Amino acid sequence: MNISLHLRRLRVVEVVEDTVERLVVAVQDLRTVVRCPHCRFHLSGG
Are 30 and 9 spatial neighbours (Cβ–Cβ below 8 Å)? Answer: yes
Query: What is the chain written as a DSSP string?
Result: -------TTEEEEEEEEE-SS-EEEEEEE--SEEE-TTT--EEE--
According to the model, what pLDDT value does residue 43 have?
A: 66
For residue 16, what pLDDT is reported? 95
- Say what the pTM is: 0.51
**Residue 18: its pLDDT value, please?**
92
Quick check: 23 and 14 in contact, CB under 8 A?
Answer: no
pLDDT score at 1: 64
Per-block mean pLDDT, blocks of 10 residues, the chain (46 long): 76 91 88 75 62
